[in-house]
Structure 1
Amino acid sequence: MKQLRLMMLGVICIFLLNGCSDFLEEKSQDEVIPKTVEDYGELLLNYMGYTDVWRVLYVLSDETGIEEKVLGAYSDDKDDYRAVGIKSIFTWQPDMWETESVGINSGYEDTYKLIMGVNAVLDGIDEAIGDQKTRDRIKAEALGLRGFYYFFLINLYGEPYNYNKDAPGVPLKLTAALVENGIARATVEEIHEQIVKDLEASSRLFGNLPKRRGDYRINSTTVDILLSRVYLFMERYDEAIAAADKAIRTAEGLTDYTDLPEDTEFFMPTYDHSEVEWVYGAVSLEPGMHVFAPAKELMAYFEGKEDRREIFWFEDSDYYGLQVNKIVYSYQTIPNNTIRVSEAYLNRAEAYVLSEQANKNTLALADLNELRRHRIVGYEDVVIADGTELLAEIREERYVELCYEGHRWFDLRRYGMPSISHDYKARPNLSWLTYTLREKDPLYTLPFPTTVFKNNIQLEQNPSAREPERKGEIKSN
């Protein structure tokens, strides 16, 4: 039975792999069954990935605008999938999931492929040949990844936890075994409980092992950063603080941008920056995405400040408009996504303000000032006594520090789903149209792609799929 189980697992792994590591490529089919803990470690590396949908979250949020000077390169031709797809996302159309758009229609399936690969590793690792410490490390990595992936899925397709945790979430699948007749959606709360369970188990396993960094694998500090994020979303503030404390203690420290020369050719996804704990995934910019530039509200933060993020992260281009170096300056074969310890400072600062801890505002200010000292030349610590004002400052800093990294859309959801708007036009000779996402708009929870229903007959669509077409209003000058 054990050999049969391993053979079935091997077959599953073959079908799941989009790209195989060398140890799989160079062996014949009857030798690809993972047997050792090292085999499972190599297999797991294939699932430290990324999906297209994650990189268009900033198109949904208030991080982006359209630069008029690049509109000539953009078409509103209905036959141009780039124009139709990107516009549907940017204007929050309920049928965005029906178009051949940039990632929206594949994110669900792509993320579940990653989860299935991780589950395959967890299914077989306990029976694999090898030493216990290596086994524990691979289990810690796999559990951390599964928690990470479910966090993204539930924040795409489930209502915000602090808004309606009893709402339908996403299907919860914890093994790689094939299931007939599909899986019904677990609740938002059930998914979050599983995420916490996975991340906490991962953190415990990592806690008994020496820290590793720089090998493109998820590590102990990364898992604790993720835990602090999830606890913050669940409004478990004391636990968010404790997880962030642990992450900051084990991290290599913030990178001091003020020590870098102004002409530095800055690239975010590198372990050369002390604050980068995990570099993962690989994604290139989709044709047509160049029409989006950082929102004016985002860039306004830098006015009157000698903030090195402005010159390191953004550049002017006659063709592309303003772009973010840490996202655009990449190639498809190079991992270019990161988790950084700066997030732990922001998670902890916000949790302090919202907690019942003594001296909470003083502690939150210390984190805010510490981060800014590493970003702004000549920065002088601010003193903010009012808790509401301090929370607004921390959230604004989060908006800037974590821009274009998949955070803002999820943050807007937990902030109460405020109304936001996008100005859009297809060509320079047309009028600007303003599209609005209403406060608590159903489209803060994305519809499922129609393609996934054929593979899961128990899946139920979100109400946002039945929203009417969004119409733009002519913008007044």
Structure 2
Amino acid sequence: MKQVIYIISLYFMCTSCSDFLDYKDNDKVIPGELDQYSELIAGELTQKYVGASCHNLWIMSDDFGTFVPSWIGDRTTDNRETYQSWYGWAKESQITPKGDEKIDPAWEHFYHKVLMCNIIERDVDEFENDPEGVKLRLLGEVQALRAMSYWYLVNMYGEPYRSAEQAKTAMGVPINKETSIKDKLYTRSTLQEVYELMEVDLKNALQNLEKGEQKHTIFRANKDVIRLFLSRIYLEQRKYDDVITVCNDALKETTRTIISVEEMLTYNSSTNPMLNKNNNSLIFSWLNRDAYPGMSVSEYSSGRYCVSEDLVALFASNDIRKYSNVSWDGNKQHIQKYRSQESGCEDMNYRVEEFYFNRAEAYIEKGEWELGMKDINEVYSRRLEEEVGHLDATNVDDARTHLRNEKRKEFCFEDMRWFDIRRWGLEVEHRFYNFSMDGTYFTYILEAESPNYVLPLPLDIQRRNFEIEQPKRVETKTK
């Protein structure tokens, strides 16, 4: 078995050789045994630091608003500027109002993961089959993580999936199948090609993990998270029967359970945040990233981002998710669902409750809204203190409204809402208070089906790769 030196800081930048794969050789791993690849996957693909990746998704969603103190003094600061262009869905959202650059690093980090998955898959496949099934597990893990990486990339930088016919020509993201540095420019593949790739990877991963060694941990890619992402891509493609089948299989086999009322009541940010490694609803946890923007802002006199008023208004008064230090703090300033110092988790997490919501949406869109409401109530019944929560609907439209509101409440600040906004084609308004004492504000408007659902390519890619298609974004409307 040949030994290959992996340069850990390789990353894919979608441009010519000198630019698209930069590397440093200060950290090398020389895998020679399957167990060493297992550690490489953990350290390089799931636990690797990814900076402030995907924080722009939070800021662009309707779960965030802004706050300005009632008095402005010499020491009062405005901490909103760095993400203000993202908050307003600006045509070039990577340039702050002062002209500085604020580039989200997600493109770099997810394409780095794609490249590493390609390399590891190639070399692990050269090992002879082992009786413990370690090889099959490793192949399943990298295939799953590669598909998940493409899911984020295509749902940030590609067009929203609207139909099978549209997907044949719609703008996806580049597909990189290389296992080494190549001197070539990358261009976009179609949505159809990217979705086909993700589905093949996820199905292969599921097959390999079913046959391979079993690792019962939320910190390694597993069958639950594979089925979750299969249900996501089927929802996006409106393959509702497939969504239902995948969710049925997952809920039949998984050992994970919906968070109970009793457990919800024990949550507090300082010792037991909602998303913690002992939470039995968690199915997978990965990516080590910075605290979200504003998390470290504690002065009451600071202008800052906060929990939006309309999100808070959705919750019943006895909804445990609204209680101080469960989803956010009493000032609606800090997101408290997880604190990495106390949770023991990584910073992007997936929960079994999503299977119920994905299956509910599939039922509703098929017209079987009663079955959809049953799934919604499976979760909602465990979210009210001293009351068994229950929601009623009389038609498809009622059920759809309940689905969208309950999913928003359940998964707020869990890296999901922006993807639902663009998938459902929703209009969003963001109120931006002026940094003054007069209480004036203006409103940014993201129109329904806006071309600004597609994020701009990182500025360094725009400067160096003139062959890759750029999204056609527009100026944001205000009122």
| TM-score (structure 1 length as normaliser) | 0.84
Among 412, 433, 436, the residue aligned to 2:421:
412
- Residue 33 of structure 1 is matched in structure 2 by 30
Question: For residues 102 and 206 of structure 2, what CA distance do their matches in structure 1 show?
Answer: 31
Unpaired segments ≥5 residues, structure 1: 18-27, 77-81
Q: Which amino acid aligns with 1:368?
A: I
- Residue 155 of structure 1 is matched in structure 2 by 155
- Residue 389 of structure 1 is matched in structure 2 by 398
- Residue 267 of structure 1 is matched in structure 2 by 273
Q: Percent identity?
A: 24
Contact 2:60 2:87 in 1 (8 A): yes
Secondary structure in structure 2 of the residue aligned to 1:260: helix
Q: CA deviation at 1:428?
A: 3.5
Q: Which amino acid aligns with 1:248?
A: L
| CA gap 1:102/1:315 in 2 versus in 1, 3 angstroms | farther
Contact 1:162 1:234 in 2 (8 A): yes
Contact 1:433 1:472 in 2 (8 A): yes
Question: For residues 271 and 248 of structure 1, what CA distance do their matches in structure 2 show?
Answer: 20
Q: Equivalent residues in 2 for 1:162-181 (5 A)? A: 162=162, 164-165=166-167, 166-181=169-184
- Residue 372 of structure 1 is matched in structure 2 by 380
**RMSD of aligned residue pairs (Cα, Å):** 3.0
Contact 1:268 1:326 in 2 (8 A): yes
Deviates more, 1:256-265 or 1:148-157: 256-265
Among 309, 312, 315, the residue aligned to 1:296:
309
Q: Which amino acid aligns with 1:224?
A: R
Q: CA deviation at 1:411?
A: 0.7
| CA gap 1:261/1:248 in 2 versus in 1, 3 angstroms | closer
| CA gap 1:98/1:315 in 2 versus in 1, 3 angstroms | closer
2:205 paired with 1:207? no
Question: For residues 139 and 265 of structure 2, what CA distance do their matches in structure 1 show?
Answer: 42
- Residue 322 of structure 2 is matched in structure 1 by 310
Question: For residues 286 and 44 of structure 1, what CA distance do their matches in structure 2 show?
Answer: 25
Q: Deviations over 1:249-299 (max 9, x none)?
A: 222243443113745424133231111111222223255465222221211
Secondary structure in structure 1 of the residue aligned to 2:109: helix
Secondary structure in structure 1 of the residue aligned to 2:394: coil
| CA gap 1:38/1:162 in 2 versus in 1, 3 angstroms | same
Contact 1:159 1:445 in 2 (8 A): yes
More helix by share: 1
Secondary structure in structure 2 of the residue aligned to 1:436: strand
Q: Equivalent residues in 2 for 1:41-80 (5 A)? A: 41-45=38-42, 46-48=44-46, 49=48, 50=50, 52-69=52-69, 75=77
Unpaired segments ≥5 residues, structure 2: 13-24, 298-303
| CA gap 1:12/1:157 in 2 versus in 1, 3 angstroms | same
Q: CA deviation at 1:403?
A: 1.0
Q: Which amino acid aligns with 1:147?
A: A
Q: CA deviation at 1:75?
A: 4.3
- Residue 119 of structure 2 is matched in structure 1 by 120
2:212 paired with 1:187? no
Contact 2:37 2:120 in 1 (8 A): yes
Q: Deviations over 1:295-324 (max 9, x none)?
A: 2121112134x2211125234355xx4332
Question: For residues 379 and 455 of structure 2, what CA distance do their matches in structure 1 show?
Answer: 33
| CA gap 1:51/1:385 in 2 versus in 1, 3 angstroms | farther
Q: CA deviation at 1:119?
A: 1.6
Question: For residues 195 and 253 of structure 2, what CA distance do their matches in structure 1 show?
Answer: 25
Q: Equivalent residues in 2 for 1:330-369 (5 A)? A: 330=341, 335-355=346-366, 360-369=368-377
Q: CA deviation at 1:32?
A: 3.3
Secondary structure in structure 1 of the residue aligned to 2:279: coil
| TM-score (structure 2 length as normaliser) | 0.84
Q: CA deviation at 1:15?
A: 4.1
| CA gap 1:355/1:51 in 2 versus in 1, 3 angstroms | farther
- How many residues get paired? 443
Q: CA deviation at 1:51?
A: 5.7
Q: CA deviation at 1:144?
A: 0.7
Deviates more, 1:112-121 or 1:102-111: 102-111
Q: CA deviation at 1:126?
A: 0.8
Q: CA deviation at 1:211?
A: 4.6
